[in-house]
Chains A and B, each alone.
Chain A
Amino acid sequence: MSGRDAILGAVRRALKRRPDDKVARAAVEARMGAPKRGPIPARAQVGHEAQVDLFEAMAVEQSATLTRVARAEDVPGAVADYLKEHNLPPRLRAAPNPELDALPWDSQPLLTVARGRAEASDETSLTGAFAAVAETGTLMLLSGETAPTTLNFLPDTHIVMLKASEILGPYEDAWDRVRAAYGPGKLPRTVNFITGPSRTADIEQTIQLGAHGPRRLHIVLVEDGPMNRPGNGADDGP
């Protein structure tokens, strides 16, 4: 008997159920077909502006830093300023993402931008985000052709360009957006929820940033306004 049959048989014996139990199957199908949300924290169910503010407050509380810029065109300048402020070399490994490619990098002649997955020697990465969850100040990054996962973990500094329109309330809204993009039940290879920079408390319970992943997580927030948000801003608060 295979391990599979042995285990499933043991489970069914323990549950006193036949494999063809129609009621049980229907219950599982229902839950798979129409996932129900559990209690959603009230703090996440606020208007979009409040969600953006909540995202910022929560991310900063988790030791991320955040700069707001008015337009996408301002991102290269904000990135260069951040590197300068932190005495970091003016070099970036950027995700091979057309949206990042389209930014006016010429405006920062001192900044070198390479594209692709992270190499061990890369000090700073720049990526986009798929969404962000205001509830806990959490970024949601999906792997794919334009988003190598190594960029999120190997470099010492991770800079993320996030559009305000990408900020959602609870995790469930982010999953809905993933389902809309990938189809029900389908995910990219990796979904990374990232809340602040890497940390450890393994030595005497004192929190140290930069255990293995990035020591710094910097978010450049493009205030693109609710009008650019899919599904418009009708539910926005005053």
Chain B
Amino acid sequence: MPQDSPLEAAPAPARVGLFVTCLVDTMRPSVGFAAVKLLEDAGCRVEAPRAQTCCGQPAYNSGDRADTQALARQTVKAFEDFDYVVAPSGSCAAMIREHYPALLADDPAWSARAEQVAARTYELVSFLTDVRGVNAVEARFAGTVTYHDSCSGLRELGIQAQPRQLLATVQGLKLSEMQDSDVCCGFGGTFCVKYPEISNTMVGDKIDCIAKSGARTLLAGDLGCLMNMAGKLKRTGASVETRHVAEVLAGMTDSPAIGEAAKD
């Protein structure tokens, strides 16, 4: 019996530049490899240019426009030859897609280049569903999960249905929605260290909602938020595991969850 393969529905191979994001690069490369698998399954040829570092949000959100522009130029240059730029993060994808054009608008040498890269930049899961037409994944995950909508992805890129649509096709997975899944977890980049008490209150409220969902695993699409929530869950002794949604969608959940000890 022929199997439904996501490959069958996929359009022509596309060259995708993976914007790994500085957090995935340094903290959790397994998310990057999960992204690579999902993209390759969707018929993409993936490269991860070494000339990339960070999208510039820490500088941008600290009011440091000059350094942000320098990083924007570097990123544009590194990715402008690809058909698409894909990031396993709504926040970094939104930075490139929504903010680079305005940042470089007054620079005649760069504004058109920034516009072009911006228009071809996507967050991973929405790229799979909205651009590559993926409507199912081949993965198994036994257990109940809950999904946190990270702010930039949700409000700047409109990512809400897409991860839920794909999660629904993971065998054995049950989604239990938490209350206020669309409310900020309190990470906010440098916010969480500049205003630790406020951030702590926010993440405290968030993990209450996670606990009430009854889920054993927390998923989201942005590693910053995930590290924040995982760090709070671990500090309070909660047994909920935390993973990037790409790991589950790719069926790559062998590595310890975020903040968990290695299993050896």
- Does a CB–CB distance below 8 Å link A and B in the complex? no
A residues contacting B by CB (< 8 A) are none
B residues contacting A by CB (< 8 A) are none
